[in-house]
């Protein structure tokens, strides 16, 4: 059964290109790369990197993966670190998600069923699969790059970065890391019955008192993130076994 990864800013030249496939969906067309057998990769921001978070066609991406039969999805993101105990430039697994308003950046509800007729997503397990987290941890351990932390992720729509006051708020709410992507993809994939994991890497500090890096600093940090995560993502794609879907898609009769 197909396993897929959505790759973000750090991966635009990570060498996971494979065979491109043009996929038409009711929400528009998108491109997915087959990187071997039934393993698929979707480059969130396009190749080359050109789309900002508010320009992404979130629903088309989710629908395309569903249409291709994906049964396990790993969503990556380069994140800002709010918790001083969370290391930079090390792979982290998402434990849970803070998404204060279930909306996409354009203001529409974050759902595949905006026109109605769909199910309620009941989060019995949560937006991330415990089984997938365990498998990814075991794969990383065997590679000699153990994942030392699972983190609570805060979703901020962007496309601008956060103010110091906003980062202070996120930290107080319990977010250990945050970014402008990942959460909508987890929501939409779960609505389509696809188990998910979030695999992230801290590429900058987002402590309220920390100054944002300049453009050269961001570029360098993303390159370091790719070096850390690229090999792990390849191994995860090769070895991950799709788990059961443990949430409920509830439909009124």
The parts of the chain modelled with pLDDT lower than 50 are none
* The total number of residues written for the chain in this structure: 253
Q: Where are the beta strands (DSSP E) in 2-141?
A: 3-7, 19-25, 28-36, 39-43, 72-81, 91-98, 120-122
Residues 6+ apart with CB under 8 A from 46: 31
The sign of the torsion formed by the CA atoms of 149, 155, 161, 166 equals negative
Number of other CB atoms surrounding residue 141 within 10 Å: 11
Angle at 25 between CA 133 and CA 40, to 5 degrees: 35
Q: What is the pLDDT of residues 140-196, one digit of tens each?
A: 999 998 999 999 999 999 899 889 999 999 999 999 999 999 999 999 999 999 999
Domain boundaries, given as residue ranges, for the chain: 3-243
Q: How far apart are CA 117 and CA 16, in angstroms?
A: 37
**pTM given for the model:** 0.92
Specify the residue for token string 């997915």: 32
Inter-helix orientation angle 215-239/130-143, to 10°: 100
Which pair of structure tokens corresponds to residue 33? 């790369």
> May I ask the CATH architecture of the domain 3-243?
3-Layer(aba) Sandwich (3.40)
Q: Note the pLDDT of residue 224.
A: 67
Q: How far apart are CA 220 and CA 216, in angstroms?
A: 6
Q: Note the pLDDT of residue 208.
A: 64
């Amino acid at each position: 059964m197909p396993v897929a990864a959505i790759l973000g800013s750090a991966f635009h030249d990570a060498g996971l290109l494979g065979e491109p496939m043009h996929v038409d969906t009711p929400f528009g067309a998108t491109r997915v790369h087959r990187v071997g057998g039934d393993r698929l990769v979707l480059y969130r921001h396009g190749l080359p990197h050109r789309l900002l978070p508010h320009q992404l066609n979130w629903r088309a991406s989710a629908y395309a993966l569903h249409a291709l039969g994906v049964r396990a999805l790993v969503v990556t993101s380069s994140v800002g670190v709010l918790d001083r105990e969370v290391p930079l430039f090390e792979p982290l697994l998402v434990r849970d998600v803070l998404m204060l308003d279930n909306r996409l950046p354009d203001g529409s509800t974050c759902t595949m069923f905006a026109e109605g007729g769909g199910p309620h997503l009941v989060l019995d397990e949560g937006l991330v699969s415990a089984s997938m987290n365990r498998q990814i941890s075991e794969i990383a351990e065997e590679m000699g790059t153990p994942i030392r932390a699972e983190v609570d992720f805060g979703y901020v729509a962007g496309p601008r970065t956060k103010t110091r006051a906003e980062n202070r708020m996120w930290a107080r709410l319990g977010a250990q890391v945050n970014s402008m992507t990942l959460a909508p993809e987890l929501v939409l994939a779960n609505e389509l019955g696809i188990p998910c994991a979030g695999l992230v890497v801290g590429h900058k500090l987002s402590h309220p008192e920390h100054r944002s890096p300049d453009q050269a600093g961001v570029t360098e940090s993303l390159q370091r993130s790719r070096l850390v995560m690229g090999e792990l993502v390849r191994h995860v794609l090769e070895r991950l076994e799709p788990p059961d879907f443990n949430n409920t898609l509830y439909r009124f009769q």
